Structure 1
Amino acid sequence: MNDDTPLAACFAALSADLLNAPGDLTCQRVVDRAVEVVPGADRAGITLRGKRGRPTTVAATDEIVELLDKEQYALREGPCLDAAGEEPYRVASDLHADQRWPRWAPYAVDLDVRSVLSLRLHTGSRTLGALNLYAAGPGAFDRQAFDVAAVFTIHATEALRTSALISDLRAALESRHVIGTAQGLLAARYDLSYEAAFAVLRRFSNETNTPLREVAERVMETRDLPSAPTSRDVAGARGAGDEEDGGPAASR
């Protein structure tokens, strides 16, 4: 961060920079920029809570961060786990003397890390994970560093949230395209309306407990359902299509 530039202007530019990064690149840009912006930070990483709350390091400035995080997950103790849980932040001025993480702290010191600052990535409705900052020397994160890191975390959280929304929207659009293509294939093969073809897909999805998109992808690959629908299935689908369409099912 340039000392001659007003702090508000720096964070405005930072926010735009983070929001312009697509997908997974957003996470990497967050950690790279964190080291540039937060005074005292030597390296950084992002821990996100996955399925069933399982933590995962999705971005790191270097391999040391990966090792530090991995050991926390294995031991089930450490500042990033606390912050990725319900703690707003965790700061350690000197891990050599810190007793909160008796197994992990000595491991970090052996990797030449003495100071840690972990801050929760929180959207207001849920916790995404934590931003973790590491430094070689003791006392690296003073009040100024903490304040800058706290503001940075707000911008980082918004960038990650926006990136996730865009990814979800893109996935939804892709699913819609795949399902629509599968409908067209079944409609042509069995002389069904689009509504009836969708009924066939949905019935197969329900009966086999397979996500609808996966069923559609199989249809695209094989040009048919994994087990071809019987005449009864087709007749039933045509009837369902008629009911949904409010009249006779139009052929494709």
Structure 2
Amino acid sequence: MHEAEGVEETVQAVVDFALQALNCEYAGVALHAAGGRPEVPAVTDPTVAEIYHFQMAAGDGPLVQCLRERTTVLVPDTFEEKRWPEWAEKVRGLGVRSVLDVPLWTGSGTVGVLGLYGKSIDVFGPDEEAIAYILARHAAVAVATARREENLRVAVDARKLVGQAMGILMERYNLNGDQAFQVLRRYSQDTNTKLREVAQELIDSRRLPRV
């Protein structure tokens, strides 16, 4: 997990390893997304994605509770589940009888949820819960690290683009660095466009976007 190149590769490694380490048929990861619905970047079967999206649309279910409260949620038998009757009926229809949702979290906060699914009842006992907890802790650190590295790469790329765009403006209009940056910033604000995108358009077209 820690050697994967990016976020998507990391979470795919998580779900693939979960199937090997635990006695379950399906696994998936939902990642917390600031200001929006959770992302579902990796599943081992379309069944998991369907279960996740059903809960997100309803705003309720074990995944939602796990993500919100950072607590492990165990459903030994979906036929006996009373907390989320609509969700239980949905997953039973997909052939799922046991569910274990484990939070992915670090000291900085919640990263996401690791979801594990079995076709039989009582698939996840104390030993499986312990293994899932350990896996989730490693996965959370790996995902958080991958996200930081990805954000850093994006930031470095953005800085390079802005620098190139500033160079074009400085040469064409005889501006200094501060003046060129202010021009880009003003266009970014006036067009409600990210500074990186304004810089990219200037580099590609050799002209500023129309306001």
TM bracket, shorter-chain basis: over 0.9
Structure 1 unmatched runs, 5+: 1-17, 229-252
Match of 2:11 among 27, 30, 52: 27
Report the equivalent of 1:98.
Answer: 81
Q: Which moved more, 1:73-82 or 1:159-168?
A: 73-82
User: Are the equivalent residues in 1 in contact too, given 2:70–2:110 (CA < 8 A)?
Assistant: no
Report the equivalent of 1:73.
Answer: 56
Distance in structure 1 (CA, Å) of the matches to 2:186 and 2:81: 58
Task: Give the number of equivalent residue pairs.
Answer: 210
User: Are the equivalent residues in 2 in contact too, given 1:44–1:61 (CA < 8 A)?
Assistant: yes
Match of 1:194 among 170, 173, 177: 177
Give the aligned residue type for 1:36: Q
Distance in structure 2 (CA, Å) of the matches to 1:115 and 1:28: 22
Distance in structure 2 (CA, Å) of the matches to 1:98 and 1:212: 50
Structure 2 unmatched runs, 5+: none
Report the equivalent of 2:124.
Answer: 141
RMSD: 1.5
Q: Deviations over 1:86-126 (max 9, x none)?
A: 14110011011111110010111121111000011112232
Deviation of 1:63 (Å): 0.9
Match of 1:112 among 95, 99, 120: 95
Q: Deviations over 1:10-63 (max 9, x none)?
A: xxxxxxxx011111111111111111112x221101112224241231110011
For 1:32-181, list aligned pairs within 5 A. 32-38=16-22, 40-181=23-164
User: Are the equivalent residues in 2 in contact too, given 1:115–1:136 (CA < 8 A)?
Assistant: yes
Q: Which moved more, 1:140-149 or 1:207-216?
A: 207-216
Distance in structure 2 (CA, Å) of the matches to 1:189 and 1:224: 10
Q: Which moved more, 1:164-173 or 1:86-95?
A: 86-95
Q: Which has the larger radius of gyration?
A: 1
Distance in structure 1 (CA, Å) of the matches to 2:162 and 2:37: 31
* Alignment TM-score, normalising by the size of structure 1: 0.79
Q: Which moved more, 1:137-146 or 1:122-131?
A: 122-131
Distance in structure 1 (CA, Å) of the matches to 2:80 and 2:90: 13
Report the equivalent of 1:6.
Answer: none
Deviation of 1:227 (Å): 4.1
Q: Which moved more, 1:146-155 or 1:21-30?
A: 21-30
* Alignment TM-score, normalising by the size of structure 2: 0.93
Distance in structure 2 (CA, Å) of the matches to 1:36 and 1:75: 31
Identity of aligned residues (%): 38
Distance in structure 1 (CA, Å) of the matches to 2:147 and 2:181: 28
Distance in structure 2 (CA, Å) of the matches to 1:114 and 1:76: 21
Deviation of 1:214 (Å): 1.5
Give the aligned residue type for 1:207: D
Distance in structure 2 (CA, Å) of the matches to 1:197 and 1:72: 48
Give the aligned residue type for 1:189: R
Distance in structure 1 (CA, Å) of the matches to 2:57 and 2:184: 42
> Do the aligned partners of residues 53 and 86 (structure 1) sit closer, same or farther apart at CA in structure 2, a change above 3 Å counting?
farther
SS in 2 for 1:19: coil
Deviation of 1:183 (Å): 0.8
User: Are the equivalent residues in 2 in contact too, given 1:186–1:224 (CA < 8 A)?
Assistant: no
Distance in structure 1 (CA, Å) of the matches to 2:12 and 2:118: 18
Give the aligned residue type for 2:177: Y
